[in-house]
Structure 1
Amino acid sequence: MLEVSNLSLAFGDLVLADDMSFRLNTGQTHVIIGPNGTGKSSLLKTLFGDIRPQKGSIQFSGEVFNVKNVTQWRRQFGYMPQDIRLDVGLSVLEVVLLGQLNALSLKLGDSLLEEALFALEQIGLVSLANQDVRTLSGGQCQMVLFAQALMRKPKILMLDEPVSALDLHFQQVMLNHLDQQTKANGWVSLMILHDLNLAAQYADNLLVLKGGRLVAQGAPADILTPQLIKDVYGVNVDIEFDGGGVPFVRTHRFSGQAGIHSNTSQIKAVS
């Protein structure tokens, strides 16, 4: 279990975490949703140790994070930040192999190569193994970095907007594989998604952030309501449920300029 207790984080007057506490169980996919600028990416960076909080504690399986154990702490993570540029003269296979950097030597063992190729095969990119990563599309780069994160054999897998550049097919490929591997290996998987319907479909546990606070947490079917979405995003929606009990969110169109003016006032409020 990854446990966050009384976490506070701020940059100047912008509060990104205000006495925030939550627990993330192993073997589950946890999804963070919330408006732009509410601290979702900063929360992941804090859990990884890139940002030091003003207050609070983070622990996993009894180990408490501190500045002295940051190197050892990060070895437990597979972390895929958003907007990573692969501007290096490496092949797709070589980039995936970097996920096992600690195990690499001058001579690669067959088992490590087979593992990397298998990771690419699982996400449908094995045909690109020898291609220069600089020639890939943004979506292909996201999939390659996902395979690299899996090669790290993480205990905690964190993905920041991992499907933002993916088409519908590869969104399903990545998120299905993530869910399967999380449950099979007992990982704590935590990702940020903006698509509420993907979040509802794949999250075992949903964390809803607004204004530096955790305003709701739980199974999507239990917590996603029109009122919650109105309160968090300022948008009117209808929610329906499919045959499996998964909620589907349908937004209403803004009338005239009302949505634009409302959005502008929200941006001014957090800037």
Structure 2
Amino acid sequence: MLTINRLNVTLDTLTLAKDMSFSLLPGKVNVIIGPNGTGKSTLLKTLFGDIQAKSGDIRFQDQSLTSKKLSSWRKLFGYMPQDIRLDIELSVLEVVLLGQLDALSLRLDDSLIEQALSALDKIGLLHLANRSVNKLSGGQCQMILFAQALMRNPKILMLDEPVSALDLHFQHVLLDHLDEQTKQQGWVSLMVLHDLNLAAQYADNLLVLKNGQLVKSGNPKDILSPELIKDVYGVQAEISHDSHGLPFVRTIRKNPARTGMQVELSSSQPAKGIADAV
């Protein structure tokens, strides 16, 4: 179990996390949602040790995050940050293998290569193994970094907006594989998503942040409501349910545009094009 107790994070005079406490269970997919600038990415960076907390305790099983133990702490993680730029002269296979950097030597172990190729195969990108990563699209880079994170064999997997550059197909490829491996391997998985409907489909536990505070947590079916979305995002929404009973969020525009196209014609001169068609 990953436990966060009374976490406070500040940057200059800005509060990024305020008295935040929660626990994440192994084998569960946890999704963070909330408006821009509310501390979602900051929370991940703090858990990884990139940002130092002002106060509070971060603990996994019998280990606690401290500056002195940062190196051993990070070995627990597979971490995929937001930045997906890969402007390097390496092949896709080489980038995936970097997930096992501690195990690499002058001679690559065949089992590591097989593991990397298997990771690529499972996400449908085996055909790219020998291609240079700086020739890939943003979405392909995102999938490659996901495979690299899996190669670390993590205890804790953290992904910051992992599907932001992906089409519909690969969004579900990535998230289905994440869900399957989380439950099979007993990982603590934590990711940031902006798409509320993807969050509702894949989250076992939803963490709702606003202004650096955890305002709600729980199963999406239990906590997603029009009132919560109005409070957190400031927009009107309707909640329905799909065939599996999962909530589906539909936002409502404040001033819906009028449907159809209105064409104003002079009483004496029809518009060019329309007159030609008559």
> Normalised by the size of structure 1, how large is the TM-score?
0.93
| CA displacement at 1:254 relative to structure 2 | 2.5
Q: Distance in 2 between matches of 1:55 and 1:153?
A: 30
**What residue in structure 1 maps to residue 154 of structure 2?**
154
Q: Quote the Cα distance in structure 2 between the aligned partners of 1:18 and 1:149.
A: 29
RMSD: 1.0
Q: CA deviation at 1:84?
A: 2.9
Where does residue 263 of structure 1 map in the other structure?
none
Structure 2 residue matching 1:238: 3-state secondary structure: strand
Alpha-carbon distance in structure 2 between the residues aligned to 1:210 and 1:14: 14
In 1, distance between residues paired with 2:193 and 2:2? 20
Partner of 2:244: 244
Residue of structure 2 equivalent to 1:170: 170
Structure 2: gaps of 5 or more residues: 258-278
Q: Which residue of 2 is the match for residue 230 of structure 1?
A: 230
Q: Deviations over 1:123-180 (max 9, x none)?
A: 0000000000000000000000000000000000000000000000000000000000
Tell me what 2:263 maps to: none
2:213 equivalent to 1:213: yes
Determine helix, strand or coil for the equivalent of 2:143.
helix
Deviating 4+ runs (over 2 angstroms): none
Q: Percent identity?
A: 67
Moved more, 107-116 or 21-30: 107-116
Residue 83 of structure 2: aligned partner: 83
Alignment of 1:93-242 (within 5 A): 93-242=93-242
Asked if structure 1 preserves the Cα contact closer than 8 Å seen for 2:84 and 2:138, the reply is: no
**When the two structures are aligned, how many residues end up with a matched partner?**
257
- State the distance in 1 between where 2:50 and 2:12 align: 18
- Whole-angstrom distance in 1 between the partners of 2:227 and 2:14: 25
SS in 2 for 1:116: helix
Q: 1:256: Cα distance to partner?
A: 7.3
Secondary structure in structure 2 of the residue aligned to 1:26: coil
Report what 1:22 is aligned to. Answer: 22
**Residue pair 2:237, 2:252 contacting (<8 A) in 1 also:** yes
Q: CA deviation at 1:13?
A: 2.7
Determine helix, strand or coil for the equivalent of 2:82. Answer: coil
Name the CA distance, whole Å, in 1 between partners of 2:141 and 2:115: 19
**Structure showing the higher helix proportion among its residues:** 1
Work out whether residues 9 and 16 of structure 2, in 8 Å CA contact, stay in contact via their aligned partners in 1: yes
Structure 2 match to 1:268: none
Distance, in Å, in 2 between the alignment partners of 1:105 and 1:69 is: 25
Partner AA of 1:216 in structure 2: K
Q: 1:12, CA displacement in angstroms?
A: 2.4
In the alignment, which residue of structure 1 is the partner of 2:31? 31
Q: Which has the larger radius of gyration?
A: 2
Aligned to 1:121, what secondary structure does the other structure show? helix
Partner of 1:269: none
d(CA) in 2 for partners of 1:54 and 1:249? Answer: 36
SS at match of 1:79: strand
Deviations 1:109-130 (A, max 9, x none): 2111111000000000000000
Counterpart CA distance in 2 for 1:191 and 1:181 is 14
